[in-house]
Every structure is written in C-alpha cells, then in structure tokens.
C-alpha cells in the first residue's frame, strides 16, 4: 500500500515556481513516491498558444510586461509610438527565448490601431490578450499645466484604451475568444498628488473605464481588469545602463513627485521638502518583473472569473493609512526573492 505524502512534500510541490513550461522548486523537500506522484498534477500558469498585444511597450513597465507574457508562453506584439522602443522590446523578448513582433503606431489614430491589430491577426491568426499601457508621463499641477499637454495626455490614455479595447474586443467576441484585457492604472488614479493633474485625471478615468468595459464584454466571456503599480524600480538592463539604477523611491527628489511650479510671490509650497520617512510597509514597491508575473497570471485562464477589478502589487503602499510610517527597508524582512525573467542561467536550470 503506497504511503501518503508528507505535508512538507505536498507544500514543496504546491509552492514550486513556474514560468510557462518551466518549473522551479522553492526548496528541496521529500521526493514523492512514484505511485503518489501520479495522483498529483502540477499546477502551471501557461499562456502557450495565446497572442498578446502590449501598447506603450517602451523600456520600463511595458517592456517588463511584454517579456513576462512571452516567458509564460504567449506570442507578443509590441506597440509604441517610437518604433525604436517597440523594436528594443522585441529584441529583449527574443533574447530571452520568446516570440515577438513590433507594431509601432499612434494609439489615438483609429486607422493605425485597426491596422496594427490586423497585422497581428494576419501574422498569428488571433488576439487573446491586450495590455493597454500607453500613456504620457510627467506634467504639472492645476495652476501651471498647459492645455496642450493636458489634452495630449488625456487623449493618449482615453483613445488608447478605448480604441484597442473596442477593436480587440470585437475581434474576440466575433470569434468566440474568451480573452483578457488589462489597463495599466497608477496610484495617482486612486489618490491625489500635487503636480500631476493630467496624469491623475486620465488614470482615474481608466479605473472606471475598466469597470464599464468589463460589463460590456462579460456576456462574451471577455474579461477587463486594471493593474495599479506604484513607482516600481526599473529592472530592464538596457534602461539601467542608460539612466543608472534605482527608481523614484530610491532616488528621492527634494520636491517629490510632480512637475515644477511657478515662482510668483503668492505661491505656497505644495509638498514637503525635508527628509522623507519610509513609505512602503514591505520596503519595496517592486519592479516591472513583479508587475509582469501578476499581469501574466491575470491574463491566464486561472483568473477566468476576475473582471472589473483592480490588482495592486506595491508592497502595501496603497493600503497604508496616511499617518502610518513604516520602518526603514533595511530593518524589514522584505518580500521573497523576485523570480527573474531575464535569462541568467538560474531560470533555466531545470526544464521538465
């Protein structure tokens, strides 16, 4: 009579790290008897056979998401207004063993959007996943922002989300594809920061756009969700080489987040300029790799009933009460080590 697996053995099995077709054990544990192993199946998150479109696939968050989707098995079409940025992400994906094409273009132009979506369908036959990440960063506060920048920023976010969701959604609905659409929001879409009025306006709009679009597409089995990052630390090797290591929270600016203000005599300070206490309960808000893992899961069939929701991966930053000041990162245990997506040799040590 075969013996039952120990609790440690089962936990080791369930807590293994998986990326696409690869499995990585978190820790060594007892080996399951062959007869027992046959009664258990590994749970793998796989996007094999799926085709994804990522807009705003530039060097930071968009590139990290594109890489993650590819490492989990999807073919990825990388869009950016800058053809060189789209092609750089394609090169990164291919360097790490994935399949990708560049589909540069303006997400506010309907003919351009339908054109590059048609190109994806002609190339790979279908679209299963869309990640709307295109956005204009930066800007200024309400007293200083120009109508030109405000209009441009809102236009990119509004039409980029609308057009890609509309036309990819029609493609999915017509073909019976139970797809997944993810819009990238921001902590600035949920709470206020001085100096980013256009960004706050359009990210807040994204949040309710997602809920409304989720209701429109639910009858077709198509899910629409948002993901909210909070100042992630860049981890794209090319971006680090260009700009240096660290992100917003590592290289704190004296004036904090937000654009510059005028110097009129009547001006009052909009933000604290002194030394800043720690902000993040877990000591880090993560990286585009953390975002990529989460978005890949959200786009998988394991999340089949999750729609109209927002997923937050930020080490507890958004959940924190305004008066709570966490301990310094150096005093915290911190999160578990990140599972890397760049091929370093560690990822591909064992293929099953």
Residues 13 and 96 both lie in one domain: no
The catalytically annotated residue of 50, 75, 140, 203 is 203
Let me know if residue 84 belongs to a domain.
yes
Residues 28 and 64 both lie in one domain: no
The catalytically annotated residue of 46, 116, 199, 226 is 199
When pLDDT is cut at 50, 70 and 90, the band that residue 278 belongs to is confident
The end-to-end CA distance of the chain, in Å, is 28
Q: Does pLDDT of 256 surpass 60?
A: no
Q: Does pLDDT of 28 surpass 60?
A: no
Residues 67 and 26 both lie in one domain: no
Q: Does pLDDT of 340 surpass 60?
A: yes
Residues 6+ apart with CB under 8 A from 78: 54, 57, 62, 66, 86, 87, 89, 90, 93, 100, 101, 102, 103
Residues 135 and 256 both lie in one domain: yes
Annotated catalytic, 324? Answer: no
| Residue among 5, 53, 62, 50 nearest 32 (CA) | 5
| Residue among 78, 15, 19 nearest 349 (CA) | 19
Annotated catalytic, 203? Answer: yes
- Mean pLDDT across 23-45: 52
Q: Quick check: 292 and 64 in contact, CB under 8 A?
A: yes
Let me know if residue 342 belongs to a domain.
no
User: Residues 308, 313, 316, 321: what is their CA dihedral angle, to the nearest 10 degrees?
Assistant: -40
Pairing state between β 310-312 and 223-228:
parallel
Residues 279 and 302 both lie in one domain: yes
The pLDDT value recorded for residue 322 is 83
The alpha carbon of residue 49 and the mean position of all alpha carbons in its chain are separated, in whole angstroms, by 20
The pLDDT value recorded for residue 150 is 97
CATH number, domain of 95, equals 3.40.50.720
The pLDDT value recorded for residue 41 is 64
Q: List the single range of 42-46, 85-89, 283-287, 293-297 with lowest mean pLDDT.
A: 42-46
Q: List the single range of 203-217, 261-275, 300-314 with lowest mean pLDDT.
A: 261-275
Pairing state between β 51-54 and 129-132:
parallel
Let me know if residue 101 belongs to a domain.
yes
Q: Quick check: 312 and 273 in contact, CB under 8 A?
A: no
pTM: 0.82
Q: In angstroms, rounded to a whole number, what is the distance separating the alpha carbons of residues 98 and 73?
A: 7
Q: In angstroms, rounded to a whole number, what is the distance separating the alpha carbons of residues 164 and 152?
A: 17
Residues 268 and 303 both lie in one domain: yes
The pLDDT value recorded for residue 251 is 59
Annotated catalytic, 186? Answer: yes
Residues 18 and 124 both lie in one domain: no
Residues 13 and 114 both lie in one domain: no
Q: Does pLDDT of 50 surpass 50?
A: yes
The pLDDT value recorded for residue 285 is 87
Looking at the structure of the chain, the number of domains it has is 2
Q: Does pLDDT of 31 surpass 80?
A: no
Query: Which tens digit of pLDDT belongs to each residue from 188-230?
Result: 889 888 999 999 999 999 999 999 999 999 999 999 999 999 8
Let me know if residue 317 belongs to a domain.
yes
The catalytically annotated residue of 46, 63, 187, 300 is 187
Q: Does pLDDT of 92 surpass 50?
A: yes
Question: Which structural domain range is residue 13 located in?
Answer: 7-37
When pLDDT is cut at 50, 70 and 90, the band that residue 40 belongs to is low
- Mean pLDDT across 121-128: 98
Return phi, psi of residue 274, to 5°: -85, -170
- Mean pLDDT across 22-36: 42
Residues 112 and 23 both lie in one domain: no
| Residue among 231, 275, 282 nearest 257 (CA) | 231
Query: Which tens digit of pLDDT belongs to each residue from 150-166?
Result: 999 999 999 999 999 99
- Mean pLDDT across 103-123: 98
**In DSSP terms, which residues pair with 181 in a beta bridge?**
130, 224
Q: List the single range of 9-13, 87-91, 264-268 with lowest mean pLDDT.
A: 9-13
Whole-angstrom CA distances from 321 to 91, 252, 316, 325 are 42, 21, 10, 9
Q: Does pLDDT of 240 surpass 90?
A: no
Q: Does pLDDT of 24 surpass 50?
A: no
Percent of the chain at pLDDT > 70 equals 80
SS (H, E, C) the chain: CCCCCCHHHHHHHHCCEEECCEEECCCCCCCCCHHHHCCCCCCCCCCCCCEEEECCCCCCHHHHHHHHHHHCCCEEEECCCCHHHHHHHHHHHHHCCCEEEECCCCCCCHHHHHHHHHHHHHHHCCCCEEEECCCCCCCCCCCCCCHHHHHHHHHHHHHHHHHHHHHHHHHHHHHCCCCEEEEECCHHHCCCCCCCHHHHHHHHHHHHHHHHHHHHHHHHCCEEEEEECCCCCCCCHHHHHHHCCCCCCCCCCCCCCCCCCCCCCCCCCCCCCCCCCCCCCCCCCCCHHHHHHHHHHHCCHHHCCCCCCEEECCCCCCCCCCCCCCCCHHHCCCCCCCCCCCCCCCCCCCEC
The catalytically annotated residue of 180, 185, 186, 300 is 186
């Amino acid at each position: 009579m075969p013996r039952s697996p120990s609790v440690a053995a089962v936990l080791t099995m369930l807590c293994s790290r998986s990326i696409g077709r690869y499995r990585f054990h978190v820790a060594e544990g007892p080996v399951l008897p062959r007869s027992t192993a046959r009664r258990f199946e590994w749970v793998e998150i796989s996007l094999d056979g799926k085709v994804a479109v990522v807009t705003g696939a530039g060097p930071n968050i968009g590139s990290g998401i594109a890489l993650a989707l590819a490492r989990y098995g999807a073919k990825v079409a990388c869009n950016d207004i800058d053809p060189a940025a789209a092609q750089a992400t394609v090169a990164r994906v291919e360097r790490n063993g994935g399949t990708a094409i560049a589909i540069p273009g303006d997400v506010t132009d309907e003919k351009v959007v339908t054109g590059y979506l048609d190109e994806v369908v002609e190339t790979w036959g279908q679209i299963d996943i869309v990640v709307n990440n295109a956005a204009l960063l930066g800007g200024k506060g309400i007293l200083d922002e120009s109508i030109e920048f405000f209009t441009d920023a809102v236009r990119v976010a509004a039409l980029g989300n609308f057009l890609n969701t509309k036309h990819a959604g029609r493609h999915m609905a017509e073909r019976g594809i139970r797809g997944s659409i993810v819009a990238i929001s921001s902590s600035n879409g949920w709470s206020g920061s001085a100096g980013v009025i256009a960004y706050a306006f359009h990210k807040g709009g994204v949040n309710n756009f997602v809920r409304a679009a989720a209701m429109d597409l639910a009858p077709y089995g198509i899910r629409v969700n948002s993901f909210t990052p909070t100042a992630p630390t860049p981890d794209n090797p090319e971006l680090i080489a260009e700009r240096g290591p660290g992100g917003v929270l590592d290289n704190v600016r004296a004036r904090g987040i937000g654009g510059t203000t005028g110097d009129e005599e009547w001006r009052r300070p909009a933000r604290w300029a002194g030394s800043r206490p720690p902000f993040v309960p877990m000591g880090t808000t993560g990286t585009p790799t953390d975002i990529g893992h989460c978005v890949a899961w959200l786009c998988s069939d394991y999340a089949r009933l999750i729609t109209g929701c927002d997923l937050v991966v930020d080490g507890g930053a958004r959940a924190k009460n305004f008066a709570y000041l966490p301990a310094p990162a150096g005093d915290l245990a911190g999160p578990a080590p990140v599972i890397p997506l760049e091929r370093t040799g560690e990822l591909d040590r064992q293929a099953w």
